[in-house]
Amino acid sequence: MSMAAPAPPAPARLRRIVAASLIGTTIEWYDFFLYGSAAALVFNKLFFPDSDPLVGTLLSFLTYAVGFAARPVGALVFGHYGDRLGRKKLLVLSLLLMGGATFAIGLLPTHATVGSAAPVLLTALRLVQGFALGGEWGGAVLLVSEHGDARRRGFWASWPQTGAPAGQLLATGVLSALTALLSDAAFESWGWRVPFLLSGVLVLVGLWIRLSVDESPVFRAALAHAEARKAEAGRQPDGAAKTPLVDVVRHHWRDVLIAMGARMAENISYYVITAFVLVYATSDHVGLGKQTALNAVLIASAVHFAVIPAWGALSDRIGRRPVYLLGAAGVGAWAFPFFLLIDTRDFGALLLAVTVGLVFHGAMYAPQAAFFSEMFATRMRYSGASIGAQFSSVAAGAPAPLIATALLADYDSATPIALYVIAAALVTLVAVGVAAETRDRDLARIEPGAPGGERATGTQDAAERAPRSAPAS
């Protein structure tokens, strides 16, 4: 069943909505990535000081992975209430949780002060971060997708995706500046706390902007439709599902599996390229300095930020699947050159390795927001998109730096790590290869299975396809 699609908002209003989603996701990813960078650089010494350096890094990455374990729980909780109460309320809550946890990490005592309680507290706060991020992504991309012009949905929905490289850029930039200005002793003593405490200021800015935008018109229309049906039939509304999770499993199980498979290469490659690279480049195997590795990730993240909207616009022209498949094939083909370039111990080669890897990653990440949003009906879209995206993170992004570090420790070679990335790329190529193209789908549809609506297998009746003209780039 479909409703009449709400009219696209005025350009100025749409830009404000995009800005609210982008700034919020930037702050949340800043918080999340800051932890990953600190885990690679200092947490092994501050919270696991009795371990061998590489074992300490493994333990710090293990607490890093714990955040991913909480993300599916966040997806379930935020998705359920986001489909019932709206996108905006849950996005404000996720920002408060993430910012509060990150600020608290900046105040944590270290192992030298409180002993084993320090890593326990660190892990607890990491769980809160993961829970918040599990609910953030789905709401942020839906707020833009459900507001925007259908002809340019891929472009507009890709902007919240730039929050990831923007957050990475901000986190890496702050850490890079601190490591350049401070001695190693000063950085390990107090300097590492500064970027975590800075999160408190950023959250206030994000809340001010996020509270200024309206709820998704598609969601509001679904609720109005439900109330009208309730008044006519004298029964419970079905525009906002009472159990969105059950409906997702019943009607969209195939789409959830496709989304999970699509995330494998995207998630694994990203954390190998941006988090594990800090370990690999600074290890005895390569021997580059921390500042050199951070600078490479910093510059490459700026390029990543710039290419994501371009890939999103291309997905409006040729479809989500072709762009996504290009990215998956690209990261698989780049896996061996990536490590071979880093092994040269040359900064230019390191920069090229990380930049090209992130450009290919952007070809998956850019269309992902529109692709996943278009798979699910309004009444279960927050739950479906969040579950598909976040459940895969437990098997993909969570263990990626941990597995890569363990493989390096066991084999003292990048070959098994490259094979690991290639295997993930193959999984994604299969998942996206069997998916239906979603570019022409109508986000105003309320539920699957109704006459003229979307079927549970992920296909769509031709009668529901809206005429399209070529979007402007």
Q: Write out pLDDT tens, residues 43-97.
A: 878 887 766 666 667 677 677 677 778 888 888 888 888 887 777 788 888 888 9
Residue 355 has pLDDT above 50, yes or no: yes
pLDDT at 340: 96
Q: Does residue 328 have a pLDDT over 80?
A: yes
Q: Which of 99-113, 171-185, 267-281, 423-437 has the lowest mean pLDDT?
A: 171-185
pLDDT tens digit string along 293-307?
888 988 999 999 999
Higher pLDDT among residues 202 and 154, named by residue: 154
DSSP string spanning 147-176?
TS-GGGHHHHHHHHHTHHHHHHHHHHHHHH
- Distance in angstroms (rounded) separating the CA atoms of residues 425 and 75: 24
| Residue 374 contacts residue 255 (beta carbons within 8 Å) | no
For residues 446 and 231, which has the higher predicted lDDT (pLDDT)? Answer: 231
**Cβ contact 162:309 at 8 Å:** yes
Asked if 389 and 263 touch (Cβ cutoff 8 Å), the reply is: yes
Amino acid at 437: E
**pLDDT value for 32:** 73
Predicted local distance difference test score (pLDDT) of residue 468: 45
Alpha helix (H) residue ranges in 343-414: 347-375, 381-395, 400-411
Nearest in space to 278 (alpha carbons), one of 270, 289, 266, 267: 289
The confidence score (pLDDT) of residue 227 equals 66
Range ranked top by mean pLDDT from 166-180, 346-360, 390-404: 346-360
CA–CA separation, 246 and 233 (whole Å)? 23
Which stretches within 106-216 are classed as H helix?
111-114, 117-145, 153-161, 163-181, 184-186, 193-210
Paired tokens of 245: 């999770």
Supply the pLDDT for residue 454: 40
- pLDDT of 99 reads 86
Return the pLDDT at 81: 84
pLDDT, the chain, mean: 82
Whether the pLDDT of residue 22 is over 80: the answer is yes
